[in-house]
Every structure is written in C-alpha cells, then in structure tokens.
Amino acid sequence: MILGAEFWMVLAAATGVAWLLPARLRPGLVAAVSFVFLVRLDPYGLAAMLAFALAFRWLAPVTRRPGGALVLPVLIVSILGYLAWFKYLPPILAALRGEGPAASVLVPVGLSYFSFKLIHYALETARGTLPPSRLGDYLAWVFLFPIFTAGPIERFDHFLSERPPRLDARLVAEGLTRIAHGLVKKFVLVGILIESLSPGHGSAGHVGRLLAELSERPVPEVWGFCALSFLIMYLDFSAYSDIAIGASLLLGFRIMENFDWPILASDISAFWSRWHMTLTGWCQSYVIMPVLGLTRRLTAAIFAGFLAIGLWHAGTGCWAAWGLYHAAGVIAFHAWQSARERRGATGDAGPLRRAAGTILTLAFVTGSFAILAGDEAGGLRDGLRILARLAGVDVPARAEAA
C-alpha cells in the first residue's frame, strides 16, 4: 500500500492542501484523507475500526470518573478480543483441526498497530497523562495513513507535541531525504542486491527445499540462509519505517523512530533497544512493567514481554517461540552482567570486546530467524530443525522419525 502510485498522489495532494489550512484544522483534514484512502482497501474493517476509535474516545475519560473503574478493562478486552478473533483464533482452530499453518483468514488492514494504539490511549487516559486534544487530532493519530499498516506505533502525547510549525525547504528536504533512504533500502538493497543472491528467499517453496535437503546442506550455507532472512527483514521493515516517517513529516507530524542501527548492537539487550523500538517501548510500558510489579520477578516480566512481542506479529507457534528465544537471550545476558559485577568487573568494554559482542549478538539474532523459517513451511518443528542444524545437529523430519 505504502509504495503504490495512489499513495504518492494522495500524499502530494494532502501535503499541498494541509499546509494551506490553519494549524488547528490541519489534523482534521489529514484524518479525513487518511480514512478515505484506507477505507477503499478494507471498507468493513475500517468501519469497525472507526467505531472502536470513537468508542475509546468517548469512554476512556469515563475511567477517571466515580464508578468508571470497570470501563478500562472492558475497553481493553474488547479490542484484544477483536484482534484475537482475526489474528489468533483462526490458527488455533486450524491446529485443532489438523489443517496446518496455512489455514487463516484475512486480517483487517493495520489491525495490530491500531489495537496497540487504542490500548495505549485508554491506559494513559485512565492515568491522566495525556494532554487535552481535539477530535481531529485524535482521528489523525489513529488513522494517519503513512503509518497505519506498518507503523511505527506512535504514542498520542508524542503525536500532539512533535509538530513542525511550518512547511519550509528544510522540512521538505528532511522528509524527502528520509523517504529516499527507505526507497533505496527497499528497491536497491533488498530488491536488487539481496534478491539477486537468493531469488524467492523466504517463500514456502524456498524453505521447503531447504528442509528437504537440510541434512545434506553445509552448516555455513544454513547460517547464510538465516542471516539473509534477518537482513531482508531488517532492511525491508526499516525501509517502510523510513518512508512512513518521512511522509508523516511532510504532512506536519514528526513520528517516533523505529530503528537505530540494531545490527551494530554489542549485546542482545542493546539490540532490543534499537530494533522495532516503538513495539519494544510499548511492551516495556504495558506488559513488562505491570508483570514485574505484579510478580516481582524480572524473569517472568521479560518472558511475558517478549511473548507479547512475538504474538503481536502472528498467532503462531513459530512467532511465540521466536519471542521466548529472545527473552531467554536477554535473561542470560542480564545474568552474565550480574555475575561480572559480583566479580568486581567495572568500566566500559574495549573495542575488541564490543566487536566480539556485536558478532555474537548478530549470530544469536540470526538463529531466531531459523525458527521463523518454519512459519513459511511446516510450522514450529521445522523451524526448530533449522535452528538445530545451525549447531550442526540433524533432527529428522516427522516422516523420517516414524
């Protein structure tokens, strides 16, 4: 959607008209343009989302009034139920019926991002942390079309506060440069360089061939397959984020950053402070910290947070295992850090140690993409087979094990 010709025409027209209006009217126009643009893609889904958005706008303030305590859980359960109906219930039912991972339904466009934004709005309204806002501001934030389908997960208080006062040459240059960065990543780095190295990489057929020949494939080749999967996802996803951030800037909204060179992180904890930062921050605020406060167990909180991160992407065993894999890595890193501190180790790591840490972090993250490869073929068992092969271990396919 974000790369179609209609997207660019709507962006150009909306940018030109929006800056002719007074600042107080600009968000309303952007909201209307965004909704009309999106509703063409999924009319029934967008109608339901508009109903949810208006209900949250009307009911969230009730949570701060006497007798309104039950409104907050009702709002959160309702939007999570709507999300689960499309994203999590179908794969569960398919697994119970033995239909395999391919059985699914069409998820309404942008539903995961939409749901998490509304939960943020409800919780922060209940806490009284959000500044006053107009309906146009709210609907522009909910439906802003450059970020609606691929993020970032913008926070409402940030959306209200980060607005350039005028459209000038510097702002246009900044927005267009950011868009150009995204287009280069998408069409040059991914579209030409990587796809030429491994055409069809990540497709079910491609993964199926890997699985069929897994025991014969050299271990370095399997590592290369997973590393390429990681690199493609990073470049592709960060490209969309660049384009969304640049396009939003042209419309007058400075959106939160989503990536900060995670491939340079020297440990897995730093990696997650740089990768999909808006999702990580959301789960930090609304999953990890509440679970930590409830259980007083950091391990439980980290596992809950990363399970939420995995399942946010898709309600499959592979994505759940991917989240738990990263949780185990973060917990192991914190345990290692604590052990070093108990031994009296102090000071920053030197360049050699940082380089070694970066290599180990990239290797660990690459391993997680072995698990995700199973999502394109037979499921979690196949993903774990590829992960085992990275360590030189051959796990037979199900038919071979019988």
- Domain ranges across the chain: 5-161, 174-394
pTM of the predicted protein model: 0.91
Spans of the chain below 50 pLDDT? 102-104, 400-402
- Give yes or no for a contact between 283 and 309, defined as CB atoms under 8 angstroms apart: yes
Torsion angle of the four alpha carbons 65, 68, 74, 75, in this order, in degrees rounded to the nearest 10: -10
Residue 2 pLDDT: 65
Cα distances (Å, whole numbers) of residue 231 to 66, 236, 265 = 51, 8, 14
Residue 266 tokens read as 């020297």
Residue 89 pLDDT: 77
Query: Nearest CA to 125 among 68, 48, 166, 170?
Result: 68
Cα distances (Å, whole numbers) of residue 325 to 188, 198, 328 = 31, 26, 5
Note the pLDDT tens digit of each residue in 147-158. 999 889 999 999
Residue 259 pLDDT: 96
Neighbours of 251 (CB within 10 A): 26
CA angle 283, 227, 398 (to 5 degrees): 90
- Rounded to whole angstroms, the Cα distance separating 174 from 91 reads 42
Note the pLDDT tens digit of each residue in 331-351. 999 999 888 888 876 666 678
Torsion angle of the four alpha carbons 89, 90, 96, 99, in this order, in degrees rounded to the nearest 10: -170
Residue 292 pLDDT: 96
Residue 400 pLDDT: 47
- Give yes or no for a contact between 124 and 156, defined as CB atoms under 8 angstroms apart: yes
Interacting residues of 20 by C-beta distance below 8 A, sequence separation 6+: none
